[in-house]
């Protein structure tokens, strides 16, 4: 059995970004929770002798919350260029090595050969392997692909299901939903969120269509639904869409940037550039999140809808984007919330996204280059000193 399952763990001499900077501290882990945070060097910590404690000195390395990836194709995405282009399910270490300790899975274009039942089973599989995992119900198209017959009952009765997503608008691959269909779905997820205390949002896939955010803007303008219910993603995929999404922030929406692989963001913005612009414009940064689209297909189509080329999303782009923004001169405490506390806020994950007493022990250790050397998920080491401690069942 893993040491972290049988004893307390004391992380000594860590430079905490919680995500706000707390300075050099010691952190006590008990089971899967953060039990205490102490000032480093302020006297001996009193722990009963009969309690086994493993002490690890990190010599001032950075300690952050684990990343929360709200948009990942955990069963694999793709398929836009034939069945052979379906991406396989994403393995555990694809997430943990990238610093992801909580993931939210979804279906995309292919909600025909892939099912919500399969998605939910993969959530349970990742949980068995030690990751915190949840999912959206539905997919690109209306009517939604659900398990119980409606999104509302999926959210109410299936614990891992937190909302609807990724529901496609302004995209030739969407079902071309009407305004009435969009607001009906938004109402379902909102009410289900009120009943359960879950996120209760509809996570919108945004394509390159000229209508961009019109359906969301109209829904906020013409209905009583709270703006937070409408959560658009991929908003940095083209520049006009990014400009419109920035305006949505003033309405109370949270927007989600995609950490596209380097060199694939055209005709949009790299996530690091979009974040830099948001800081320069003094936008409400607490309403901006960053996700990977891990396992998803990143296709490029011509105006006739013909596939020109494709890439695939990877969770590792989250850390790469973080480093890229820091290289632009932004501070860690400015960008880190977009991967941690901001995501936990919109998704209503009450015990995640921060380093605080009583929160889940989902933690990352970074070196001076902001490379992730150690990953702890729910109090268990998945990566230590750049070595894999836990692999997925078929890895």
Q: Given 293, 360, 362, 374, which residue is catalytic?
A: 293
Under 8 Å between Cβ of 90 and 73: yes
> How far is CA 170 from each of CA 129, 163, 211, 239, 303, rounded to the nearest angstrom?
37, 20, 6, 15, 13
Instruction: Output DSSP code: residue 337.
Output: G
Residue among 227, 283, 279, 280 nearest 254 (CA): 227
- In the chain, the N- to C-terminal Cα span, in Å, equals 19
Q: What are phi and psi of 332, to 5 degrees?
A: -60, -40
| Residues linked to residue 27 through DSSP beta bridges, in sequence order | 11, 37
Largest distance between two CA atoms of the chain? 71
Residue 293 among known ligand-binding residues? yes
Nearest to 14 by CA among 38, 30, 32: 38
Q: Is 302 among the residues known to form the active site? A: no
Around Cβ 50, how many Cβ atoms within 10 Å?
Answer: 5
71 appears as a binding residue in the annotation: yes
Which residues contribute to the annotated binding site for Zn(2+)? 71, 73, 166, 205, 234, 293
Tell me the binding residues: 71, 73, 166, 205, 234, 293
**Residues annotated as part of the active site:** 293
């Amino acid at each position: 059995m893993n040491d972290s399952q049988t004893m307390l763990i004391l992380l000594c001499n860590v430079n905490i970004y919680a995500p706000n900077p707390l300075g050099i501290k010691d952190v006590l882990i008990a089971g899967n929770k953060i039990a205490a945070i102490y000032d480093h060097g302020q006297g001996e910590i009193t722990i009963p002798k009969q309690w086994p404690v493993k002490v690890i000195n990190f010599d001032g390395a950075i300690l952050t919350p684990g990343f929360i990836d709200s948009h990942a194709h955990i069963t694999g995405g793709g398929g836009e260029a034939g069945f052979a282009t379906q991406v396989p399910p994403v393995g555990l270490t694809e997430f943990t090595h990238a610093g992801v300790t909580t993931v939210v899975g979804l279906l995309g274009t292919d909600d025909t050969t892939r099912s919500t039942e399969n998605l939910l089973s993969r959530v349970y599989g990742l949980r068995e392997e030690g990751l915190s995992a949840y999912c959206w119900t539905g997919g690109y198209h209306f009517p939604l692909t659900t398990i119980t017959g409606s999104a509302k009952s999926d959210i109410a009765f299936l614990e891992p299901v937190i909302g609807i997503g990724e529901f496609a608008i302004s995209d030739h691959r969407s079902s071309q939903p009407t305004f009435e269909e969009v607001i009906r779905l938004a109402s379902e997820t909102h009410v289900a969120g009120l009943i359960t205390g879950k996120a209760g949002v509809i996570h919108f896939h945004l394509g390159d269509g000229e209508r961009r955010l019109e359906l969301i803007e109209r829904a906020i303008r013409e209905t009583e639904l709270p703006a937070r219910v409408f959560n658009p993603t991929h908003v940095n995929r083209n520049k006009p869409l990014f400009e419109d999404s920035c305006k949505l922030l003033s309405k109370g929406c949270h927007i989600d940037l995609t950490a596209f692989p380097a060199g694939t963001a055209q005709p949009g913005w790299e996530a690091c550039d979009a974040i830099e612009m948001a800081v320069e414009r003094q936008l409400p940064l607490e309403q901006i999140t960053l996700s990977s689209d891990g396992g998803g297909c990143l296709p490029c189509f011509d105006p006739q809808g013909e596939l020109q080329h494709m890439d695939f999303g990877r969770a590792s782009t989250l850390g790469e984007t973080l480093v890229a923004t820091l290289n632009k001169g932004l501070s860690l405490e400015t960008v880190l919330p977009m991967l941690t506390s901001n995501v936990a806020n919109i998704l209503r994950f009450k015990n995640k996204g921060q380093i605080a007493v009583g929160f889940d022990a989902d933690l990352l250790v970074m070196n001076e280059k902001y490379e992730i050397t150690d990953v702890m998920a729910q109090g268990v080491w998945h990566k230590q000193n750049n070595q894999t401690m836990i692999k997925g069942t078929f890895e």
